[in-house]
Amino acid sequence: MAKKYLMTPGPTPVPEEIRNEMAKPIIHHRTKEYQAIFKDATDGLKKMFKTSNDVFTFTSSGTGAMEASVVNICSPGDKVIVVRGGKFGERFGEIAKAYGVEVIALDVPWGSGPCPADIKDLLKNNPGVKAVYTTLCETSTATVFDIKAIGEVVRATGAIYVVDAISGLGADKFENDAWGVDIAICGSQKGLMIPPGLAFCSVSQKAWKAVETSKLPKFYFNFKKYKKAMDATDTPFTSAITLVIGLKKALEVINGKGVDNVIAEHIAQAEAFRSAVKAMGLTLFSKSPSNAVTAVNTPAGMDADALIKLLKTEYGVTFAGGQEKLKGTIFRAAHMGGIDREHTIESIKALESALAKMGYKFKTGSGVDAVTKMLGK
Residues near its own copies (CB under 8 A)? 4, 6, 8, 10-11, 13-14, 19-20, 22-31, 59-64, 67, 94-95, 98-100, 187, 189, 195-197, 216-222, 237-243, 318, 320
- Is the Cβ of residue 24 or residue 361 nearer to its own copies in the bound state? 24
Between residues 68 and 280, which has the closer beta carbon with respect to its own copies? 68
Nearer to its own copies, 22 or 270 (CB): 22
Q: How far is the CB of 133 from its own copies (least distance, A)?
A: 14
Taking the C-alpha atoms of residue 335 and residue 342, their distance in angstroms, rounded to an integer, is 11
Residue 146 beta carbon to its own copies: minimum distance, rounded to whole angstroms: 26
The residues, ordered by sequence, that sit 6+ positions from 255 with a Cβ below 8 Å of its Cβ are 44, 47, 48
* Residues whose CB is less than 8 angstroms from the CB of residue 79 and which lie 6 or more positions away in sequence, other chains included: 101, 102, 103, 104, 126, 128, 129, 130
**Residue 366 CB, nearest distance to its own copies (Å)?**
28
Q: Minimum Å distance from CB 90 to its own copies?
A: 13
Q: DSSP letter string over 107-142?
A: E--TT-PPPHHHHHHHHHHSTT--EEEEESEETTTT
Residue 39 CA neighbour count, 13 Å, CB half: 11
Angstrom distance (rounded) from CA 267 to CA 28: 39
| Position 256, amino acid | G
Nearer to its own copies, 34 or 179 (CB): 34
Those residues with Cβ within 8 angstroms of residue 145's Cβ, 6 or more apart along the chain or in another chain: 83, 85, 113, 114, 134, 135, 136, 137, 138, 288
- Name the residue nearer to its own copies (CB basis): 3 or 377: 3
Q: Which is nearer to its own copies, 31 or 364 (CB)?
A: 31
The torsion angles phi and psi of 246, rounded to 5 degrees, stand at: -65, -40
Task: Indicate the residue among 196 and 281 with the shorter CB distance to its own copies.
Answer: 196
Least spacing, CB of residue 8 vs its own copies, in Å: 5
Q: From the centroid of its chain, how far is CA 28?
A: 30
The least CB distance from residue 118 to its own copies, in Å, is 26
User: Could you tell me if residue 10 is left (phi over 0), alpha (psi between -120 and 50 degrees) or otherwise beta?
Assistant: left
Q: Show the CA angle centred on residue 302, arms to residues 319 and 368, nearest 5°.
A: 55
Q: Alpha-carbon distance 92 to 135, whole Å?
A: 10
Q: What is the smallest separation between the CB atom of 60 and its own copies, expressed in angstroms?
A: 5
